[in-house]
Structure 1
């Protein structure tokens, strides 16, 4: 009986925190960016390896993540008039390399971008074990992602990947900055493959206030909103694919965009 009471108390506290996270006062953009920077540069956090998609963090799922994403990319790319080139591929938020090991074997040059040096090292190790690609690691600061543009090279990329990242970003405004970066580095006709979490009628998909407690639900878009936003930032939306639920989470929307 005592154990049940303790369990109920914990559930009530958790629900209370979730309610406050949803209705609490809006934080400034700079504050959320600072919270995000603090989280990602603190790998001692218990769930950090899983949230960074290191092989040790999602054992038994790591290989499948990249394989499934490449298969979906190929499926969506059939709507294009010409197959995408894979000369230079850039991945924003490479984490532990789950996507890189699947996409890099097709590329001549793979630019891995992350805010954590340890993740870049982890990604490099797994990618070069999978293929002989020109691997370019790029460390960026959460506060200044635009600094990556000149290093990657304007209009130098053929494919831009951003998967399992947008929901972790500090805000919709920050996500817009990443879209603009993607457009800047993509060559005309280049392809962006970007996944977001989409909002539905379930209140659990609403953005929440505490970054560390709710990082995977930080920035969520209505599907039509992101489609329009892509057009406003210089892309032509070509296709969208919804995954209501998988082994890792729920409400995933994958957008295939071409650089207009």
Structure 2
């Protein structure tokens, strides 16, 4: 017979930790960045490959992730007054290449940015297996993402992808830094395709601490708040699409952004 009382105690403890991580004292930005650096570099967690979207980590969903994202991008891009150029693509947080294998075959150049060299190697291997598109891996430090701007080149990007990444970032402030980087890298006619986790009426407060335990909901936004943040950082939101639930998680919002007309001028 199962020890139901033991299961109940474990659930209660887990719920208590979750509540404390949401309402307890907030860790400093520097501490959360350090925790994120430790998590992604250590590869000690059994779920690490799944969180990094390696094929072995999500074998049943891996190919579908990229196909779904490429199809959704094409659908959302129809709202633009021009067909977007898929010339130089930058993917911020490439992981194990689930998106790269879908987008790179249509690009002139694919630039993968990640904080883990092993993920860049995996992404490159998977991408080269499906196409001959020139591939540039860019390894960055979690604490200094802006270093990527000089290495890639300001204004050199046609499409900036940031998918299944924002919720893993240390904070909303850090997400603002990524928007600034995207604005620097994109040319005047460029497009950013970004996904966030959104808060709805049933959601509780976001987690404030213990990155490794809460990484999949570390940074979430109300949809209208992210829209306003994007505007404040030099973008025009063109369209948003909601995916309340899929095989990986829930509360996904996909937003297509273009550089603001004022910045283009």
Calculate the TM-score normalised by the size of structure 1: 0.98
Distance across 1 between alignment mates of 2:2 and 2:245: 35
Specify the alignment match of 2:263 in structure 1.
none
Distance across 1 between alignment mates of 2:40 and 2:176: 20
* Structure 1 residue 204, shift from structure 2 partner: 4.5
Specify the alignment match of 2:140 in structure 1.
140
Matched, 1:14 2:18: no
Is the 2:198–2:253 Cα contact (8 Å) retained in structure 1? Answer: yes
1:99-110 mapped onto 2 (5 Å cutoff): 99-110=99-110
* Structure 1 residue 232, shift from structure 2 partner: 0.9
Specify the alignment match of 2:27 in structure 1.
27
Structure 2 stretches lacking a partner, 5+ long: 261-265
* Structure 1 residue 210, shift from structure 2 partner: 1.6
Specify the alignment match of 1:125 in structure 2.
125
* Residues 191 and 210 of structure 1: CA distance in aligned 2, closer, same or farther (over 3 Å): same
- 2:256 partner SS: strand
Specify the alignment match of 2:3 in structure 1.
3
Matched, 1:251 2:255: no
Write the deviation string for residues 131-181 of structure 1: whole angstroms up to 9, x where unpaired: 011100000000000000011110000000000000000000000000000
Structure 1 stretches lacking a partner, 5+ long: none
Distance across 1 between alignment mates of 2:217 and 2:10: 21
Distance across 2 between alignment mates of 1:208 and 1:5: 30
Tell me the matched-pair count: 260
**RMSD of equivalent CA atoms:** 1.0
Distance across 1 between alignment mates of 2:259 and 2:128: 29
Specify the alignment match of 1:115 in structure 2.
115
* Structure 1 residue 203, shift from structure 2 partner: 3.1
Specify the alignment match of 2:45 in structure 1.
45
Distance across 2 between alignment mates of 1:126 and 1:205: 37
Distance across 2 between alignment mates of 1:210 and 1:203: 19
